[in-house]
Amino acid sequence: MKYIYGIHGIEGSHIVNGKGWVVATEELGHDPTNTNGVDYRQIANGATVIARLNNGYEPNGTIPIPSEYPNFAQRVQNFVRESFGCHHWVIGCEPNLSRERPSNQPILPESYAECYSMCKQKIHDVLGHENDVVCMAAVGPWNVETGDWIDYFVRMLSYAEIQGGVSGICVHTYSHGTDPQLIFSDQTMDPPYNDRYYQFRAYVNFMHAIPETLRDVPVYITETDQNEPWADTNSGWVQNAYMEIDAWNQINVQKIRCLALYRWPSYDQYAINGKQGVIDDFLLAQQNSYTWTDEPVEPPIEPPVEPPIPGGEMTIIFEDGFEGAFYYADDKYSGDTDVSELECPVGWKPDWVQGTEPGINNRPEYKPKIKPQPEVYEGERAVGIHSTFSSHDGVIYRQFDVTPGAKIKASVMAMGKGDGGAGMVVGIDPTGGIDFKNLDPAYWGEWWSTDVPDWVEAAWANISKEVIANAPKITVFLRSNSRFPNNNTGHFDNFVLESDKDDPVDPPVPPTPPGGLVAQIQEIRTDLEDALDKLDVLESTIIDGAIMALPV
């Protein structure tokens, strides 16, 4: 099995349990006559070794000055020839950082690529290592000491490809703190880098920046941590990190084969050795058995184009802009009467897929969107189905009386926010059933989602579905779905139901005064009290008149 679990530091290989990777780091220097190597076969404890080959550590430079590149490449070849149990190599580390510079001389991305290409060729010239994976060094995220880190990353890859190709790519990513929810955070940096993630999802910026011509190259995250001393607690940070990478691998062609925790040895604040809470978190993550595969992702099967449903001219028989009342939909909560995250438009009901694990299909929030919020297409209100740090799959649904055999079309304006595989779709059960989870795929329309070529986040699109009614009632579902644990919302506005027959449908819900149902009830009570007061006055007048009319 090709597991994604990893630890940085050969001394910690025992906790990998043979289920993944261990990253070793070696200081080689650049003496071309040095032939020392390392035997990794026993100390790796069954894990796959990735050996990072450094010229040296601060201040000697992760790779040497350019004039020494040939000597360094020869030293790398000598080391590989005399080492055993390793076929994955990394040339240097974070060359964009000032502390990795040789003699304080900046390492330009093109210079690093030249050194990498020499080393890769020398490794592939060693008998038995012709097909080894030789990785380009990870670029330090959020660092501008040698220019924009993403630009540096792209230039480095592009130049190496020209020089002779790239056989592996390393990435580093971290959170800024110990909160496990930072793994799923969409927080971005301040301008001018406000399009870059500031937390663990910094890896996404690197993955998206990889040139198209290198999208078949394996990727390894060889360092990840909390950017401060590891909190000695089983908080779920580690489990969330592996869940996030597995979610990436599920839907992306370019797989991330390794996520290595940085690091085991007790050298500094990043040591995991002795922190049982972190170790327990890692061992629990392994129970999910996350793996990667080099098999290509199958493109989605395009459904057959359905012929137009026969029928006469369509007439609007019902409209709902969600301008009316919202109510607390508490029917799933055994008597709860004020579940504020379950506010649905009157006439519609909620339903969702309920997951059993944190971050996987937790119950979404249902809320009205009210101007000046931007998630309103027209009028004053819209409805949103939202998840925070979780995937979700939920609907609002409504039944309508129709004429059997009528052609029915339901359409709505839909808009998605978030990058977690968000999507919205309209479905119609022509028999009036209310179980959206088992609705035949033929009764769902086309998705407006991150999977369609013209998808634009926070842009409105009209989505619809047509069916022939098979019963006196049909059920319309407005569905929102996100595949990743993320902040995602599907918004709906301006729902329209059409038919080619004059069907009986529910009367439109009258608009609710500001304040919702409570205000509406209070207004009715006030009207009744005014009417009673008028009745009292009229009664008194009649009685007084009658008394005065009596003979004295």
Cβ within 8 Å of residue 372, ≥6 positions away: none
Measured CA to CA in angstroms, residue 427 lies from 54, 114, 419, 431 at distances of 57, 56, 23, 12
d(CA 415, CA 320): 16
pLDDT at 543 over 60: no
pLDDT at 336 over 50: no
Q: How many CB atoms lie within 10 A of CB 465?
A: 20
Identify residue 303 by its one-letter amino acid code: P
Share of residues in the chain with pLDDT > 70 (%)? 84
Identify residue 500 by its one-letter amino acid code: D
d(CA 316, CA 321): 14
Running DSSP on this structure, what letter comes out for residue 39?
B
Measured CA to CA in angstroms, residue 91 lies from 61, 138, 169, 273, 385 at distances of 12, 9, 10, 26, 47
pLDDT at 33 over 90: yes
pLDDT at 297 over 70: no
Measured distance between the N- and C-terminal CA atoms of the chain, rounded to whole angstroms: 111
**Is the preceding peptide bond at 59 cis, omega within 30 degrees of 0?**
yes
Residue 213 falls in which region: left (phi positive, over 0), alpha (psi -120 to 50) or beta: alpha
Backbone angles phi, psi at 128, to 5 degrees: 90, -5
Look at 523 and 258; give whichever has higher pLDDT.
258
Q: Is 49 helix (H, G, I), strand (E, B) or coil?
A: strand
For the chain, give every domain's residue range: 5-286, 315-499, 517-552
What the block records as the tokens of 236 is 């779920």
Express each pLDDT in 39-89 by its tens digit: 999 888 889 999 999 999 999 999 999 999 999 999 999 999 999 999 999
**Contact criterion met (CB below 8 Å) for 413 and 403:** no
What the block records as the tokens of 552 is 């004295």
Share of residues in the chain with pLDDT > 90 (%)? 66
pLDDT at 26 over 60: yes
pLDDT at 402 over 80: yes
Q: How does residue 337 score in pLDDT terms, banded at 50, 70 and 90?
A: very low
Express each pLDDT in 87-127 by its tens digit: 999 999 999 999 999 999 999 999 999 999 999 999 999 99
Q: How does residue 503 score in pLDDT terms, banded at 50, 70 and 90?
A: low
Q: How does residue 508 score in pLDDT terms, banded at 50, 70 and 90?
A: very low
Assigned CATH class of 315-499: mainly beta
Name the fold adopted by 5-286: TIM Barrel (3.20.20)
**Contact criterion met (CB below 8 Å) for 177 and 228:** yes
pLDDT at 189 over 60: yes
Cβ within 8 Å of residue 34, ≥6 positions away: 28, 75, 78
d(CA 372, CA 74): 65
Q: How does residue 301 score in pLDDT terms, banded at 50, 70 and 90?
A: very low
Opening angle at CA 57, ends 55 and 61, nearest 5: 55
pTM of the model: 0.58
d(CA 244, CA 181): 11
pLDDT at 1 over 60: yes
List the one residue out of 270, 276, 200, 179 whose CA is nearest residue 230: 270
**Contact criterion met (CB below 8 Å) for 168 and 218:** yes
Q: Residue written as tokens 């006196």?
A: 472
What the block records as the tokens of 473 is 């009632």
Cβ within 8 Å of residue 536, ≥6 positions away: none
Q: How does residue 507 score in pLDDT terms, banded at 50, 70 and 90?
A: very low
**Contact criterion met (CB below 8 Å) for 322 and 345:** yes
Q: How does residue 511 score in pLDDT terms, banded at 50, 70 and 90?
A: very low
Task: Tell me what the pLDDT averaged over the chain comes to.
Answer: 87
List the one residue out of 403, 521, 422 whose CA is nearest residue 471: 403
d(CA 446, CA 303): 10
Express each pLDDT in 150-178 by its tens digit: 999 999 999 999 999 999 999 999 999 99
Query: What's the average model confidence in pLDDT over 231-255?
Result: 95
What the block records as the tokens of 409 is 């079309």
